[in-house]
């Protein structure tokens, strides 16, 4: 179920509908995510936020149908990319979407590149795999320049271990964008990088999104990055979407008690020293998920209805939360 | 550096790692991980060392504890001068100076139960007899917010935050005077980070601990420290009381670090600092930051700046921000 107050004339680029993913465990299949829905418009930067184990990364693996196999399994739901269901595509159709229409960059660029292959060969691979009409090297040089690599010939001749983390992430971005995809999935793209380099890479992604008109799905635990670089955000907790909305509205008035707790727990660069405000308890494991609202044992506002599963209740334009506090539009 | 004395006094500390290469395994140069660092700490203080990866902040922490032997310099723990060439000289002070590591997944022995992990240091240092150990371990667990019932479980049964609590219990079991906290929350989730920091600050007040907090996270550092030292390529480039540092950064690197961090404030865009940290093997002459500095002058490429007084800070810069240049 997707609730939005916004009216979009064009069709969303990506629509995830009621996506549930399970993993094989000792006692059969354990559901990791529960009916996750969101959509991304053309040109939009969307932030999917949550702590480790919330299901954000498996959701993004499912988008490319690359869940660990055996083990991971889509239990239900649909993933519509430009209106076509990724989950029912043939391997040949999928191959055309991956890399060509959807690019992906990972948390550890060093681990995502082949250590035994020169950067030049790795950058040429997508062109070879998908076929390309023009001169691949021309496109590669154009992109290397766009991602801020000043000495492309040296980088092309290098092997991954000869480049710094920031340079490798620039190479990954070049590779992901080589065939002009309409969606770029970035899974914790700057977590492994130093703060000054992190800002360089995020600004670069923001520029590229504008210039190359690519949508970005950013998966991260860092709310500061979402605040700066996303248009809309979805917060996940324990396999479900807890809140969804425009970033502006989310920062001004976070709805879900979990979102409020996360924002309050964040140390602030722009505020003098004050008491820490942690969320009590810890993130549950999937086998320990509570029936009803999964946050209720840590929630300062928990009340009787929380033993039932909350729907996403709308509480503003395009802004909704899976919390009974908003059952009647936010009026108790 | 200014302020507190008595607990820890570090003078001219250098820790170099040889770079070996070629068939003959010749020493080709040195990585100057810690390059002439001086500071002191007093009882009950929280001092943070902040910097990017490779700046030497972790090596500094390790060198103070003798986990990595320093190359040169003098080190006084609680008034006792150490022989930095001999690992044994730290031994009598080991229980006063403890460390908590970054990764709670690799810093606890997976084949030992929580009881064994916590009891071992207490036994080694003769803190209590073996009869008293179970009670002492239970008390430590309670102090860090874990149930004593967990005593006979193995580390794999715990979450990252709980493991970090076990690491803290192991360190405070020896009733140390100083805790070196090396990126202790970097591997934890945001909501758990705040719990662990709060626990450390509570223990600090309760036990009169001093904390040397090593971190790359300026926001975190601002919210917990009394004083901050900013490191770049093995040197302290700025040191000040926390509020002075954040109100008026004097070194261009400190200012650039602060400006490059994204915050929740959408009206404030991060400002970029160009380039990356150069290799610590072949340092250019002059100021190590000169190659990336927006305020660089000729002099910076020739002379190495010492730590000069700069307003309420000390900054290793000839041209501190909003102040007249150093003559």
- Is B310 domain-assigned? no
- Evaluated on CA atoms B57, A113, A172, A154, the torsion sign reads positive
- Is B311 domain-assigned? no
> Does residue B115 sit in the same domain as residue B84?
no
Per-residue burial over B18-43, b = 16 or more CB atoms within 10 Å of its CB, e = otherwise: eeeeeeeeeeebbbbbbbbbebbbee
DSSP letter for each residue of A13-55: SEEEEEEEEEEEETTEEEEEEEEEEEEE-TT-EEEEE--TTSS
- Is B65 domain-assigned? yes
The minimal CB distance from A195 to the residues B160, B216, B266 is found for: B216
Q: Using the beta-carbon criterion (under 8 Å), do B52 and A52 form an inter-chain contact?
A: no
Q: Using the beta-carbon criterion (under 8 Å), do B262 and A199 form an inter-chain contact?
A: yes
> Does residue B197 sit in the same domain as residue B59?
yes
| Residue that terminates a domain, selected from B122, B153, B173 | B173
Exposure of A267 in the CB half-sphere (CA atoms within 13 A): 25
| Residue that terminates a domain, selected from B126, B142, B173 | B173
> Does residue B210 sit in the same domain as residue B79?
yes
The minimal CB distance from A199 to the residues B53, B246, B272 is found for: B272
Interface test with A, best of B52, B58, B145, B189 (most A CBs within 10 A): B189
Kindly identify which residue of chain B lies nearest to residue A273, measuring between CA atoms.
B223
* CA atoms of A122 and B311, how far apart (whole Å): 52
- Is B318 domain-assigned? no
A3 exposure class (CB count in 10 Å sphere: 0-12, 13-18, 19+)? middle
Q: What is the pLDDT of residue A109?
A: 84
Q: Using the beta-carbon criterion (under 8 Å), do A199 and B193 form an inter-chain contact?
A: no
Q: Which domain holds residue B70?
A: 1-96+176-263+270-278
Give me the mean pLDDT over the B248-268 stretch.
93
Closest to B200 measured CA to CA, from B229, B165, B174: B165
CA A155 to chain CA mean position, Å: 28
Closest to B33 measured CA to CA, from B310, B283, B242: B283
Q: What is the pLDDT of residue B54?
A: 81
ipTM over 0.85: no
- Is B283 domain-assigned? no
Q: What is the pLDDT of residue B127?
A: 86
Q: Which residues of B fall within a CB distance of 8 Å from A269?
A: 218-219, 222, 246, 258, 261, 263
User: Between β-strands B97-100 and A183-187, what pairing exists: parallel, antiparallel or unpaired?
Assistant: unpaired
* CA atoms of B184 and B186, how far apart (whole Å): 6
pLDDT digits (tens, 9 = 90+) for A272-304: 877 888 898 888 888 889 999 999 999 999 999
> Does residue B187 sit in the same domain as residue B139?
no
> Does residue B164 sit in the same domain as residue B274?
no
User: Between β-strands B26-41 and B8-21, what pairing exists: parallel, antiparallel or unpaired?
Assistant: antiparallel
| Residue numbers of A between 275 and 314 with CB closer than 8 Å to B | 275-280, 282-283
> Does residue B90 sit in the same domain as residue B8?
yes
Tally of domains in chain B: 2
Give me the mean pLDDT over the A125-147 stretch.
90
pLDDT digits (tens, 9 = 90+) for A147-190: 888 889 999 999 999 888 888 999 999 999 999 999 999 998 88
pLDDT digits (tens, 9 = 90+) for A178-230: 999 999 999 988 887 888 888 888 999 999 999 988 999 999 999 999 999 99
DSSP letter for each residue of A233-293: EEEEETTEEEEEEEHHHHHHS--SHHHHHHHHHS--TTS------PPSS-PPPGGGPPSS-
Q: How many Å lie between the alpha carbon of A248 and the closest alpha carbon of chain B?
A: 8
> Does residue B121 sit in the same domain as residue B159?
yes
> Does residue B23 sit in the same domain as residue B152?
no
Mean pLDDT of the residues in chain B = 90
pLDDT band at B189 (very low <50, low <70, confident <90, very high): confident
* CA atoms of A191 and B61, how far apart (whole Å): 23
Cβ atoms B66, B181 nearer than 8 A: no
Give me the mean pLDDT over the B8-19 stretch.
92
- The count of other CB atoms within 10 Å of the CB of residue B176 is 19
> Does residue B3 sit in the same domain as residue B150?
no
Kindly identify which residue of chain B lies nearest to residue A251, measuring between CA atoms.
B264
pLDDT digits (tens, 9 = 90+) for B27-67: 888 888 999 999 999 999 999 999 988 889 999 999 999 99
A-B interface: how many C-beta pairs under 8 angstroms? 144
Helix (H) or strand (E) holding B274: none
Note whether B166 contacts A: Cβ–Cβ < 8 A.
Answer: no
Note whether B269 contacts A: Cβ–Cβ < 8 A.
Answer: yes
A174 token code pair: 């070049």
């Amino acid at each position: 179920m997707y609730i939005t107050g916004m009216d979009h004339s064009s069709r969303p680029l990506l629509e995830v509908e009621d996506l549930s993913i399970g993993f094989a465990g000792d006692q059969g299949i354990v559901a990791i995510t529960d009916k996750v829905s969101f959509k991304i418009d053309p040109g939009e930067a969307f932030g999917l936020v949550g702590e480790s184990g919330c299901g954000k990364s498996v959701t993004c693996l499912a988008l490319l149908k690359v869940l660990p196999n055996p083990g991971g399994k889509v239990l239900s739901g649909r993933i519509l990319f430009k209106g076509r269901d990724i989950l029912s595509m043939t391997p040949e159709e999928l191959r055309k979407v991956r890399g060509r229409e959807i690019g992906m960059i990972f948390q550890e660029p060093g681990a995502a590149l082949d250590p035994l292959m020169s950067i030049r060969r790795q950058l040429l691979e997508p062109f070879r795999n998908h076929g390309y009409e023009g001169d691949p090297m021309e496109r590669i040089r154009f992109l290397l320049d766009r991602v801020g690599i000043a000495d492309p010939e040296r980088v092309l001749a290098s092997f991954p271990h000869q480049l710094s983390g920031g340079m490798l992430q620039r190479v990954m971005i070049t590779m992901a964008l080589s065939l002009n995809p309409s969606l770029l999935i970035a899974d914790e793209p700057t977590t492994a990088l130093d703060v000054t380099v992190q800002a360089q890479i995020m600004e670069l992604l923001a520029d590229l999104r504008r210039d190359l008109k690519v949508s970005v799905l950013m998966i991260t635990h860092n709310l500061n990055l979402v605040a700066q670089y996303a248009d809309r955000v979805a917060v996940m907790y324990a396999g479900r979407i807890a809140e969804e909305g425009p970033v502006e509205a989310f920062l001004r008035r976070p709805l879900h008690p979990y979102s409020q707790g996360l924002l309050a727990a964040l140390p602030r660069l722009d505020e003098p020293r004050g008491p820490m405000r942690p969320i009590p308890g810890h993130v549950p494991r999937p086998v320990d998920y509570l029936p009803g609202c999964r946050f209720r044992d840590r929630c300062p506002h928990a009340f009787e209805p929380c033993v039932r599963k909350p729907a996403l209740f709308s509480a503003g334009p395009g802004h909704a939360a899976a919390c009974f506090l908003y059952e009647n539009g936010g009026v108790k | 550096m200014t302020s507190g004395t008595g607990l820890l006094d570090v003078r001219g500390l250098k820790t170099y790692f040889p770079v070996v290469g070629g068939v003959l395994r010749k020493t080709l140069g040195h990585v100057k991980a810690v390059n002439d660092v001086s500071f002191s700490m007093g009882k009950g203080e929280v001092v943070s060392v902040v910097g990017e990866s490779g700046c030497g902040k972790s090596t500094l922490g390790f060198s103070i504890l003798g986990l990595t032997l320093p190359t040169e310099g003098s080190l006084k723990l609680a008034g006792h001068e150490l022989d930095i060439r001999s690992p044994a000289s730290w031994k009598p002070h080991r229980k006063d100076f403890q460390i908590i590591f970054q990764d709670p997944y690799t810093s606890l022995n997976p084949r030992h139960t929580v009881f064994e992990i916590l009891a071992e240091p207490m036994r080694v240092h003769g803190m209590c007899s073996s009869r008293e150990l179970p009670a002492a371990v239970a008390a430590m667990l309670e102090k860090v917010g874990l149930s004593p019932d967990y005593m006979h479980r193995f580390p794999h049964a715990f979450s990252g935050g709980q493991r970090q609590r076990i690491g803290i219990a192991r360190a405070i079991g020896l009733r140390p005077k100083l805790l070196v906290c090396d990126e202790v929350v970097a591997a934890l989730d945001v909501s758990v980070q705040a719990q662990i920091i709060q626990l450390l600050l509570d223990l600090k007040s309760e036990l009169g601990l001093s904390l040397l907090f090593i971190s790359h996270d300026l926001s975190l550092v601002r919210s917990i420290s009394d004083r901050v030292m900013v490191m770049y390529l093995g040197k302290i480039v700025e040191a000040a009381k926390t509020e002075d540092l954040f109100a008026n950064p004097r070194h261009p690197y400190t200012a650039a670090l602060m400006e490059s961090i994204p915050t929740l404030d959408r009206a404030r865009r991060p400002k970029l600092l160009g380039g990356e940290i150069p290799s610590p093997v072949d340092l250019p002459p002059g100021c190590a930051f000169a190659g990336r500095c927006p305020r660089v002058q000729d002099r910076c490429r020739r002379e190495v700046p010492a730590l000069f007084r700069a307003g309420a800070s000390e900054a290793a810069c000839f041209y501190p921000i909003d102040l007249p240049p150093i003559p």
